[in-house]
């Protein structure tokens, strides 16, 4: 830990690499315990870099067999992080051979094994665990790869680029596009291929393959369809065509993240590829579509144009998330997608930005880069792109993107490069806008208004609270999309974007016959916390009349939060405004069922805890949970007839289809069931569980049964039915923990960790149970601290095995500062216990250190 603190990397220290890599050739002879990797690299001095003459290569956990420069033994000095040796200041050939043991690699970084299959994960710094190399994103080279393996166990051998020649037990691949090492990939195993093809805009035929374990080939069709739609969409919307003859995707069961965009060979967590109606929910289908698109879109935003250094991570991630959000909106519903994205942003990014882990979209230092694949870099990074697009308009955005691809293809770039294309393409000065990349924290935007002599005025004030390392902030450019409504519900001013740039700024709207009702921050036009004094009546009015679907939903959400807050603090009963507004929305058949489902859903307990904290109230997790249960019951009672009718009317006539229309109807039907099962003794849920022919209905019913009384019988039935399906079993684990009553959650989780199927080294399974407990707000924070203890125990156990996943999950504790003194002490004690663990990884040490502050 102390050593780690000394090794922070700083953005300001960036220097180019002294050499260019003209060509990289790898020969990988696979063996579980003794894989041999021979690398041959042609180096030449970098004219834009510091003086050449010393070769520094990154390397970790490698057994060096030999190393030569121009055929003569190299004079290498090896340390824990790589090797150094004197090298010519002119071009030379480097060759080295190392040995590694993929079967012992439980960290799932570098070359590792999953169910007998070899696979790799090199982002961010995994390639250095495969061979000695300048493992940094600004070093790019074309790669050729030869793989050798036992053909009996590994008949399929894959790498980046195009296949060239192959024989029994070997195959060669060539990737003509220069790439950084983090995009390297290799897969070998007994795999089957779901094949298809795609003709690009210019008429090139691309072979598409999704490679899975035998038996899973029937679960690839949806992912393949999503891939083809993504390829067509990127051509139509961004003019981006695929650039190799082959595009392969491999599904892997053991994976730390969601998926990885390796050039021409994407590797996916199998949960984001495999789907059948019986085993995947509507939500799974939606996630598969979004993640397939995300990884594919990286081919241009990430691979063809990559990052100069890891501080620029948002350059590829923010933009690619923004692109996948656009795609999903186009495929489904823009309104519902936007609401979903904002829900995620608030749940993950606002939570992060309002706690000890707050950091800028472009951080300035890190100890372990894997800890910076965060909601801020990804989700806030995407919001920043959305704001830019709003500010420069659709055409300006398109012109800037065209210029970006033209100017920077094949380069490793920075946020400065990115902003410059917008400035050059649109003539806009983005100096102040850049603060979105450099300042951390969520800006607070408050608004007051007055109305005199037919003139309506809005007075804004912005302020960003201090965050770690940033006590003071300058004002940001905040695009506020605004519409005005008349008291009769008509729109008197359609959406217009106000640009707030000052700490205090006012806007005037003359010619208003009556006092308008403002619809502010339409479409959630900036990632800020907006405060405005407003009445329940006005919120109900906006819920009924706002033409902006996001703000219509937001009005209902704010109403619900007010109601819940008053239930928690004053034990107040929900008022009639909220319930009657909810009834109107629920009954409004002109509204998308998925929108209605979102309007009926209550804010999460964690969201309420933050909301109460923001208003100066220390959140009591049990009180929040109790209020939410009460309010759900009240809604169910009040709307029982409407919900019952909806539940019956939305029953699907034909066979299951994952298409958005059918999924949206199921979303509302399931929301209705969730409420109805609180008052019907569980009869509908029992029936739905017994009759379900698809996982959405089956799991939805099981959730209701577990919440009602533990659902022991249904839980056992479900297990018997799905014991052999790893992905379905993850859901079984997660549901029991997620829906356990507050007092039982830690016990339920502890019991499940004893279950024979609790394979804790598998990240998905670990997250299902331990992450599931963290996600059960009242359960995790139950009095006594058993939840904290259990999570800490398991993170301590996981850390030496898989530091990356353990470190990521320490964020379950990031909100400790919100709670009462008892809980704060217990959470801090749990963190201190993790911190005191001997040999704690650099990953977890950095996270725990930052969380404790």
Query: Of 780, 695, 768, 764, which is closest to residue 734 (Cα–Cα)?
Result: 768
Residue 805 touches which of Zn ion, ligand 0A1, none (Cβ within 5-8 Å per kind): none
- One symbol per residue from 315 to 344: x for binding Zn ion (CB under 5 A), - otherwise; what is it? --x--x------------------------
Judged by beta carbon, residue 227 or residue 750, the one nearer ligand 0A1 is: 227
Q: Which two tokens stand for residue 10?
A: 């700083």
Query: Could you say which of ligand 0A1, Zn ion, none residue 370 binds, taking C-beta under 5 to 8 angstroms by partner kind?
Result: ligand 0A1
Residues with Cβ within 8 Å of residue 353, at least 6 apart in sequence? 376, 380, 440, 441, 442, 467
CA distance 352 to 527: 13
Residue 18 vs 302, nearer CB to ligand 0A1 = 302
H or E, element range at 730: helix 726-738
Cβ atoms < 10 Å from Cβ of 348: 18
Q: Residue 324 Cβ, how far from Zn ion at the closest point, in Å? A: 8
Structure tokens at 781: 């924070």
CB of 378 to ligand 0A1, least distance (A): 7
User: Which of Zn ion, ligand 0A1, none does residue 440 bind to, with CB < 5 to 8 Å depending on kind?
Assistant: none
Q: 124 touches which of ligand 0A1, Zn ion, none (CB within 5 to 8 A by kind)?
A: ligand 0A1
Alpha helices in 119-270 (DSSP H): 221-238
**Cβ nearer to Zn ion, comparing 175 with 324:** 324
Assigned token pair, 261: 């965009």
The distance of closest approach from Cβ of residue 339 to ligand 0A1 in the complex, given in angstroms and rounded to an integer, is 23
Q: Which is nearer to Zn ion, 138 or 317 (CB)?
A: 317
The nearer residue to Zn ion, 123 or 606, going by C-beta atoms, is: 123
Nearer to ligand 0A1, 731 or 808 (CB): 808
Task: State the nearest-atom distance from the C-beta of 129 to ligand 0A1, in Å.
Answer: 12
Do residues 480 and 518 lie in contact, with contact meaning Cβ atoms separated by under 8 Å?
A: no
Q: Using CB atoms within 10 Å of the CB of residue 727, give its burial: 0 to 12 exposed, 13 to 18 middle, 19+ buried.
A: buried
- Find all residues with CB under 8 Å of 813, minimum gap 6, and list them: 788, 791, 827, 830, 831, 851
> Token digits for 605?
């307990």
What, of Zn ion, ligand 0A1, none, does residue 123 touch, CB below 5 to 8 Å by kind? ligand 0A1
> What is the rounded CA–CA span in Å between residue 708 and residue 722?
22
Tokens of 6: 């000394």
Q: How distant, in Å, are the alpha carbons of 27, 510, 563, 683, 790 from that of 103?
A: 19, 72, 54, 49, 29
For the annotated catalytic residues, the residue numbers are 295
Asked whether the CA dihedral 30, 34, 35, 39 is positive or negative, the reply is negative
How would you label 460-478 residue by residue, b for 16+ Cβ within 10 Å and e otherwise?
bbbebbebeebeebebbbb
Least Å from the CB of residue 358 to ligand 0A1: 20
Nearer to ligand 0A1, 121 or 426 (CB): 121
CB contact at 8 A, 791 and 298: no
* Residue 690, SS3 per DSSP: helix
| Contacted entry of ligand 0A1, Zn ion, none for residue 762, CB cut-off 5 to 8 Å set by kind | none
CB of 291 to Zn ion, least distance (A): 9
Task: Quote the CA–CA distance of 600 and 584 in Å, as a whole number.
Answer: 11
Q: Which does 259 bind (CB under 5 to 8 A by kind): ligand 0A1, Zn ion, none?
A: ligand 0A1
Please confirm whether the linkage preceding 124 is cis (ω < 30° from 0).
yes
In the complex with ligand 0A1, the residue whose CB is nearer, 373 or 405, is 373
User: In this complex, which beta carbon is closest to Zn ion, that of residue 294 or of residue 731?
Assistant: 294
| Nearest distance, CB of residue 510 and ligand 0A1, angstroms | 48
Q: How far is CA 524 from CA 145, 341, 387, 717, 735, in A?
A: 47, 10, 10, 43, 31
Select from ligand 0A1, Zn ion, none the partner in contact with residue 373, using the beta carbon and a kind-dependent cut-off of 5 to 8 Å: ligand 0A1
SS3 label, residue 498? strand
Minimum Å distance from CB 264 to ligand 0A1? 15
- Taken in order 487, 493, 495, 500, the sign of the CA dihedral is negative
The token pair at 761 is 């080294």
Region of 128 please: left (phi>0), alpha (psi -120 to 50) or beta. Answer: alpha
**Site map for Zn ion, 299-318, x if CB under 5 A?**
------------------x-
Q: Interface residues with ligand 0A1 (CB under 6 A)?
A: 121, 123-124, 256-261, 294-295, 317, 370, 373
- The per-residue b/e assignment along 273-298, b for 16 or more CB within 10 angstroms, e otherwise, is bbbbbbbbbbebbbbbbbbbbbbbbb
Q: Smallest distance, Å, CB 36 to ligand 0A1?
A: 25
Task: Please tell me the chain's helix, strand, coil percentages from 3-state DSSP, rounded to the nearest 5.
Answer: 45, 20, 30
Q: Quote the least distance from Cβ 373 to ligand 0A1, whole Å.
A: 5
When the beta carbons of 317 and 577 are compared against Zn ion, the nearer one is 317
User: Which residues are paired to 39 by β-bridges?
Assistant: 26, 96
Residues near Zn ion, by CB under 5 A:
317, 320
């Amino acid at each position: 830990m102390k050593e780690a603190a000394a090794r922070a990397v700083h953005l300001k220290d960036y220097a180019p690499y002294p050499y260019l890599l003209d060509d990289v050739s790898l020969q990988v002879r696979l063996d579980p315990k003794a894989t041999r990797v021979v690398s041959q690299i042609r180096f030449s001095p970098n004219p834009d870099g510091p003086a050449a003459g010393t070769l520094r290569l990154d390397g970790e956990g490698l057994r060096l067999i030999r190393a030569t420069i121009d055929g003569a033994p190299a004079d290498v000095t090896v340390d824990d992080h790589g090797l150094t040796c004197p090298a010519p200041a002119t071009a030379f050939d480097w060759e080295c051979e190392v040995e590694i043991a993929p079967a012992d690699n439980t960290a799932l970084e570098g070359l590792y094994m999953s169910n007998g299959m070899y696979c790799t994960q090199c982002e961010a710094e995994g390639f250095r665990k495969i061979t000695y190399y300048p493992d940094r994103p600004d070093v790019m080279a074309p790669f050729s790869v030869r793989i050798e393996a036992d053909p009996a166990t590994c008949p399929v051998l894959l790498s980046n680029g195009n296949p060239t020649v192959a024989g029994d037990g070997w195959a060669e691949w060539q990737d003509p596009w220069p790439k950084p090492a983090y995009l390297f990939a290799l897969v070998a195993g007994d795999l089957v291929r779901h094949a298809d093809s795609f003709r690009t805009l210019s008429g090139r035929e691309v072979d598409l393959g999704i490679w899975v374990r035998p038996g899973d080939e029937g679960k690839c069709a949806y992912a393949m369809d999503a891939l083809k739609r993504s390829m067509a969409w990127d051509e139509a919307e961004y003019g981006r065509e695929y650039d190799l003859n082959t595009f392969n995707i491999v599904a892997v069961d053991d994976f730390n993240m969601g998926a990885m965009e390796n050039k021409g060979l994407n590797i996916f967590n199998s949960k984001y590829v495999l789907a059948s109606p019986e085993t995947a929910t509507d939500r799974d289908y939606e996630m598969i579509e979004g993640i397939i698109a995300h990884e594919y879109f990286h081919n241009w935003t990430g691979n063809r144009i990559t990052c100069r250094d890891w501080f620029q991570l948002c350059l590829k991630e923010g933009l690619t998330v923004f692109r996948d959000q656009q795609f999903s909106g186009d495929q489904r519903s823009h309104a519902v997608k936007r609401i979903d994205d904002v829900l995620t942003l608030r749940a993950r990014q606002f939570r992060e930005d309002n706690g000890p882990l707050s950091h800028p979209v472009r951080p300035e230092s890190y100890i372990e880069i894997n800890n910076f694949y965060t909601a801020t870099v990804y989700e806030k990074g995407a919001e920043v792109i959305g704001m830019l697009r709003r500010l420069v308009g659709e055409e300006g955005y398109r012109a800037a993107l065209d210029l970006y691809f033209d100017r920077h293809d094949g380069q490793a770039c920075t946020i400065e490069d990115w902003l410059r294309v917008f400035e050059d393409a649109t003539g806009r000065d983005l100096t102040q806008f850049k603060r979105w990349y450099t300042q951390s924290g969520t800006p607070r935007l408050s608004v007051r208004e007055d109305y005199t002599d037919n003139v309506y005025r809005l007075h804004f004030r912005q302020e960003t609270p201090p965050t770690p390392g940033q006590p003071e902030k300058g004002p940001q450019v905040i695009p506020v999309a605004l519409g005005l409504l008349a008291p009769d519900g008509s729109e008197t001013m359609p959406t217009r974007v106000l640009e707030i740039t000052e700490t205090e700024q006012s806007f005037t709207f003359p010619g208003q016959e009556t006092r308008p009702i403002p619809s502010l921050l339409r479409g959630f036009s900036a990632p800020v916390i907006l405060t405005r004094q407003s009445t329940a009546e006005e919120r109900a009015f906006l819920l009924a009349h706002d033409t902006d679907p996001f703000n219509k939903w937001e009005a209902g959400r704010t109403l619900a939060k007010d109601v819940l807050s008053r239930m928690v603090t004053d034990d107040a009963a929900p008022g009639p405004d909220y319930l009657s507004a909810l009834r109107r929305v629920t009954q409004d058949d002109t509204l998308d069922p998925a929108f209605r489902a979102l309007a009926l859903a209550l804010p999460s307990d964690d969201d309420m805890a933050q909301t109460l904290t923001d208003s100066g109230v220390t959140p009591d997790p049990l009180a929040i949970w109790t209020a939410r249960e009460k309010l759900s019951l009240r809604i169910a009672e009040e709307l029982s007839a409407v919900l019952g009718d909806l539940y019956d009317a939305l029953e699907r006539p034909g066979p299951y289809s994952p298409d958005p229309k059918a999924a949206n109807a199921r979303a509302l039907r399931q929301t209705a069931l969730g409420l109805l099962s609180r008052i019907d003794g569980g009869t509908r849920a029992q029936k739905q569980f017994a009759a379900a022919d698809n996982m959405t209905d089956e799991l939805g019913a099981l959730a209701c049964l577990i919440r009602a009384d533990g659902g022991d019988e249904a839980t056992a039935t479900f297990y018997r039915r799905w014991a052999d399906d790893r992905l379905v079993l993850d859901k079984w684990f997660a549901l029991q923990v997620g829906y356990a009553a507050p007092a039982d959650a830690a016990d339920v989780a502890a019991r499940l960790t004893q279950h024979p199927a609790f394979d804790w080294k598998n990240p998905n399974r670990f997250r299902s149970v331990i992450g599931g407990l963290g996600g059960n707000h009242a359960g995790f924070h139950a009095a006594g601290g058993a939840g904290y203890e259990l999570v800490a125990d398991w993170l301590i156990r996981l850390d030496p095995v898989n530091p990356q996943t353990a470190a990521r999950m320490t964020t379950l504790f990031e909100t400790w500062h919100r709670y009462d003194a008892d809980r704060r002490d217990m959470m801090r004690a749990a963190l201190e216990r993790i911190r005191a663990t001997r040999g704690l990884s650099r990953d977890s040490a950095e996270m725990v250190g930052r969380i404790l502050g």
